[in-house]
Amino acid sequence: MKNYKYSKILTKDFLYNEYTVNKKSTTQIAKEIGCSSHAVSDNLIKNDIYIRTISEAKNPMVSKILTKTFLTKEYIKNKKSIYQIAEETGCIATTIYNYLKKYDIKIRTNSETHSKWDKILTKDFLIKEYIKNKKSFTQIAKEVGCSQNGVRYNLIKHKIEIRDSGEGNIGKNNWNWKGGLSSKQYYCSECGRPINIATALYGGSGLCNYCAYLGKRSSNWQGGKSFEPYPLGWTKTLKESIRQRDNHQCQICDKLQKNIKLSVHHIDYNKANLNPENLISLCNKCHTKTNTNRNYWTNYFKNLSKEKIYVNN
């Protein structure tokens, strides 16, 4: 019954608007509706809606950049590797590979690829970069434009001893050493809770997860409406009458009231509107969900009310 209910919500029009037009992720949609991200993905497939790749999800411009003309120029004419193109366009190598296949652009064989890098990854070059300069597979591969396996292959080919994974990469010997910043403890600038280095220094807000979304910083900030007082008519008797009308059952997930009383929700989010038609019973979990995507839930409950009127008649 639960899957049937979500399939009524996750319609083709709804998913196209939220996923394709508004660029929301399957996780975001799932959180707003209260289902799993797999349920959203299943309904995208069911409704024949194109699902974005990881690279497209991170960068919506990927599909516009990776045209057949662009890939033919970079991969065929300029002889760039899949890894070089991926690095330049900000996506992963698998995405470049998939687009090459999509456009029927012939992908170079391993032997063709190795012959190209053999001229660059010579024994002298690798001894200098890998042994003397202590560079890693990743650094050399990134600088040259090949894969890490390509670097490893040529090290073995030239009988150059490969370091243990941790050798030469600890503390100040690591190429990415930043003065021991990662070993320090950082704290939220507002409440003093511990936070990680990324939040403190690298593009983060310097605030903990709680403070970062508090009050006006919240994407759902409504100008402080939640602090407004309820009218005198908002009584226990009124709320109990709504629960009884709804058979003590959550009107989203059908959960029955047990030890914890159901919440009574204002459909139009206006505390002053105590019309019974504007009130509906919800469990705590579903009531929390209605704090996001308010336009959607307002329309959802209005349609639900129309269905009830139709059934009762």
* Domain identity same for 143 and 187: no
| Position 44 in a domain | yes
d(CA 210, CA 271): 26
- What total of structural domains would you count in the chain? 5
Residues 6+ apart with CB under 8 A from 27: 37
Q: Check residue 216 and give left, alpha or beta (phi > 0: left; psi -120 to 50: alpha).
A: alpha
* Parent domain of 117: 112-166
| Position 288 in a domain | yes
List, for residues 42-99, the tens digit of each pLDDT value. 889 888 888 877 666 666 677 788 899 999 999 999 888 888 888 788 778 888 888 8
Q: Which residues pair with 281 in a beta bridge?
A: 264
| Position 276 in a domain | yes
List, for residues 206-237, the tens digit of each pLDDT value. 888 777 777 677 666 666 666 678 888 999 99
- Quote the longest CA-to-CA distance of the chain: 87
| Position 297 in a domain | yes
| Position 270 in a domain | yes
| Position 226 in a domain | no
pTM as predicted: 0.36
* Domain identity same for 162 and 187: no
Residues 6+ apart with CB under 8 A from 140: 121, 126, 129, 130, 151
Burial class (CB in 10 A: 0-12, 13-18, 19+), 15: buried
* Domain identity same for 294 and 237: yes
Cβ atoms of 55 and 61 closer than 8 Å: no
